[in-house]
């Protein structure tokens, strides 16, 4: 009140500035501005499409017109082609989960061992496959596992006394190709996850175990495994969900059609029906059924790994 | 520890290195084959496939010449599209996702838990279930066959939000108070004080987002319609046709398509391996 003119003036302008841009200083408002991109994207790119996917699954979507047809899409879903796709996907999930958990764990333990050498070189080289796209990797795999007798894989089979295989035309070998491609691309990444977890294991525990006279297996079971269990749960969950989403590994070997649907996956089926045959309602219904499958599997998995037990993990 | 290694330890060491030499060979073999194939005459590849000999009638750059020289080829257009889309996506997704992750870690506000649960929810629900309604939405917005249509679903990346949050949780909150006392705005605090402290996480996410968008396939396959708009994976996939594969361009094109991602990886590698392992796995 009693301040001199210039001071008053200064206070006034700075207050005016503060009023106009107060949100810039507000600890209350700022976080909402920060998270607003996520809120927008959640509403527009997740919640709305999710609701319309459910809605669409009860519709027959034709160009320019939409009819509600109740459960008709769902009753159509359970057909032999869908069962084939679901069976392929399930086998793929089981194989990739086992391969991409067990092998990386073994390799990470070896790589983390004090007697291991050239660790950095090996770490870098096993990671290279993860940089390639499925399309590029698949192109090479198609050549290595070529149908002709002179392809690398068939030459190897003949070398060990087996008959050459037409890789893309048998059910078992088609699955082998897709699983091998996925395992090849992701094994290095999973090894890195395990390596990080192993490096955080408390070394005192090993010494204590040594004093108690524990053997290697007992040390793994009672010290190593409990410590890396969160990573095991994380990787099996991720691999399961990625497995159910699989489309590209199949696409690169078979495009959109394979003999007897040996390469068809559930997402491939959604693509086939929803995009190629333009039957969006039916495709959406397949998607909702897939979501149900994933949900049930995840819940079983979480119970089995004890993630719901209190005070654990 | 003993000074001299025992014979048994030497043997184990040798065994481990041998095992990993095989693993590394399996990891690198396909990539090496690709390079060899790109330098081999396409007619040989057509006739024999990729053989274990790896030596063809000659080594030359014909395939690359075909890639550079042929008139109708859209390869460089695809390359350009991929570079623009991935470049923009790295910048945009890092900008938005880091803000969200930072706010979730550093502020207390109403609805924070709900937002974090939403982030986890998006992570759990596969994109493929939403792709048909999203595709319909892009059609009604007229975004089919446009860069923006390809980019939209990836701009706010929940995995990056999650990662930035984990990283920001470790930042000292006292710095925020100090900056406030100095008259810094909340946004100034983030951009001038905290974001520089989060640089390693930015590097890690630059690789992850670059890798994701560079190799993204299913969504661009849906959204992109014209040859001129294809990204590299979609374009290369069109060369793999049931009516015969265009090996000449396919192999040389595939080799060149890996280069930017290798550069990005080498550039940020240290942070990536750290980042991948520190952020993602907290139970």
**What is the 3-state secondary structure of A216-240?**
HHHHHHHHHHHHHHHHHHHHHHHHH
**Looking at residues A2-17, what average pLDDT do you find?**
46
Q: How confident is the model at residue A4 (pLDDT cuts 50, 70, 90)?
A: very low
Q: Which of residues 215-274 of A touch B (CB under 8 A)?
A: 230-231, 233-234, 241, 244-245, 247-248, 251-252, 255, 267, 270-271, 274
Alpha carbon distances (Å) from A136 to A129, A217, A310, B122, B158: 10, 40, 45, 28, 27
Q: Which is more confident, A42 or A205?
A: A42
Residue A208 scores a pLDDT above 90:
no
Q: What percent of chain B has a predicted confidence (pLDDT) above 70?
A: 86
Q: What percent of chain A has a predicted confidence (pLDDT) above 90?
A: 50
**Residue A289: count of CB within 10 angstroms of its CB:** 20
For chain B, residues with pLDDT lower than 50 are: 1, 280-283
**Looking at residues A113-139, what average pLDDT do you find?**
89
pLDDT of residue B250: 85
Residue A109 in contact with residue A297, Cβ under 8 Å? no
Reading the block at residue B38, the tokens are 């790109």
Reading the block at residue A278, the tokens are 């333009």
β-pair type (B240-241, A59-62): unpaired
Q: What backbone phi and psi angles, to 5 degrees, belong to B113?
A: -60, -45
Tell me which residue in B26, B218, B277 faces A247 most closely, judged by beta carbons.
B218
Residue A312 scores a pLDDT above 50:
no
Distance CA B31, CA A140 (A): 8
Reading the block at residue B238, the tokens are 């069109």
**Looking at residues A149-161, what average pLDDT do you find?**
85
Taking CB atoms and an 8 Å cutoff, what residues of chain B touch A290? 126, 128-129
**Closest residue by Cα to residue B80 from B191, B235, B200:** B235
Alpha carbon distances (Å) from A302 to A9, A110, A296, A297, A308: 65, 28, 10, 9, 7
**Residue B51: count of CB within 10 angstroms of its CB:** 23
Asked if A169 has any chain B CB less than 8 Å from its own CB, the reply is no
pLDDT of residue A42: 95
pLDDT of residue A281: 94
Digit-coded pLDDT (tens) for A129-140: 999 999 999 988
Tell me which residue in A126, A197, A291 faces B27 most closely, judged by beta carbons.
A126
Taking CB atoms and an 8 Å cutoff, what residues of chain A touch B222? 275
This complex has an ipTM of 0.87
Question: Which range is least confidently modeled, A10-24, A65-79, B76-90, B126-140?
Answer: A10-24
**Looking at residues A93-103, what average pLDDT do you find?**
96
Digit-coded pLDDT (tens) for A254-300: 987 888 899 999 999 999 999 999 999 999 999 999 999 999 998 89
Alpha carbon distances (Å) from A121 to A118, A126, A128, B46, B263: 6, 9, 11, 35, 17
pLDDT of residue A201: 82
Mutate which: A44, A136, A151, A256, vs B, most B CBs within 10 A? A136
């Amino acid at each position: 009140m009693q301040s001199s003119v210039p001071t008053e003036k200064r206070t006034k302008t700075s207050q005016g500035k503060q009023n106009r841009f107060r949100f810039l200083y507000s600890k209350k408002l700022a976080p909402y501005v920060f998270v607003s991109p996520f809120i927008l994207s959640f509403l527009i790119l997740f919640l709305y499409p999710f609701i319309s996917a459910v809605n669409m699954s009860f519709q027959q979507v034709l160009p320019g017109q939409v009819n509600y047809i109740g459960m008709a899409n769902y009753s159509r879903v359970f057909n032999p082609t869908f069962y084939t796709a679901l069976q392929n996907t399930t086998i793929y999930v089981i194989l990739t989960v086992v391969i991409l958990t067990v092998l990386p764990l073994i390799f990470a333990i070896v790589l983390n061992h004090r007697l291991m050498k050239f660790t950095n070189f090996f770490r870098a080289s096993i990671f290279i496959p993860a940089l390639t796209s499925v399309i590029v990797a698949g192109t090479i795999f198609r050549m290595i596992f070529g149908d002709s007798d002179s392809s690398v894989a068939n030459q190897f089979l003949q070398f060990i006394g087996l008959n050459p295989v037409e890789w893309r035309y048998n059910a078992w070998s088609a699955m082998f190709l897709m699983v091998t491609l996925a395992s090849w691309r992701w094994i290095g990444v999973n090894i890195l996850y395990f390596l990080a977890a192993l490096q955080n294991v408390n070394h005192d525990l090993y010494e204590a175990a040594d004093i108690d006279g524990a053997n290697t297996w007992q040390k793994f079971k009672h010290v190593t495994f409990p410590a890396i269990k969160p990573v095991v749960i994380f990787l099996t969950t991720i691999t399961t969900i990625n497995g159910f989403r699989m489309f590209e590994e199949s696409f690169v070997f078979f495009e959109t059609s394979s003999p007897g649907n040996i390469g068809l996956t559930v997402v491939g089926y959604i693509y086939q029906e929803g995009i190629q045959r333009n039957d969006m309602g039916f495709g959406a219904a397949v998607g909702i059924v897939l979501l149900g499958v994933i949900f049930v599997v995840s819940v079983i998995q979480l119970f089995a790994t004890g993630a719901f037990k209190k005070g654990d993990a | 520890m003993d000074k001299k290694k025992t014979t048994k330890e030497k043997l184990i060491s040798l065994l481990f290195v041998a095992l990993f030499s095989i693993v590394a060979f399996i990891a690198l073999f396909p990539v090496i084959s690709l390079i060899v194939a790109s330098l081999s005459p396409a007619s040989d590849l057509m006739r024999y496939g990729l053989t274990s000999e790896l030596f063809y009638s000659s080594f030359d750059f014909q395939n690359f010449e075909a890639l550079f020289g042929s008139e109708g080829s859209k390869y460089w257009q695809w390359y350009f599209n991929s570079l623009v889309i991935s470049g923009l996506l790295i910048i945009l997704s890092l900008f938005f996702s880091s803000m969200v992750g930072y706010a979730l870690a550093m502020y207390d506000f109403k609805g924070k838990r709900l937002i974090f649960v939403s982030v986890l929810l998006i992570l759990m629900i596969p994109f493929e279930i939403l792709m048909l309604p999203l595709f319909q939405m892009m059609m009604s917005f007229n975004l089919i066959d446009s860069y923006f249509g390809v980019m939209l679903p990836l701009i706010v990346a929940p995995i990056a939000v999650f990662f930035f949050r984990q990283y920001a949780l470790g930042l000292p909150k006292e710095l925020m108070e100090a900056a406030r006392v100095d008259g810094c705005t909340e946004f100034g605090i983030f951009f001038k004080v905290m974001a520089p402290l989060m640089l390693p996480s930015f590097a890690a996410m630059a690789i992850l987002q670059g890798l994701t968008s560079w190799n993204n396939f299913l969504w661009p396959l849906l959204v992109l319609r014209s040859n001129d708009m294809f990204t590299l994976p979609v374009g290369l996939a069109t060369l793999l046709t049931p009516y015969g594969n265009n090996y000449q361009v396919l192999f040389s094109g595939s080799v060149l398509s890996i280069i930017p991602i290798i550069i990005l990886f080498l550039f940020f590698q240290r942070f990536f391996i750290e980042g991948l392992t520190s952020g993602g796995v907290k139970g």
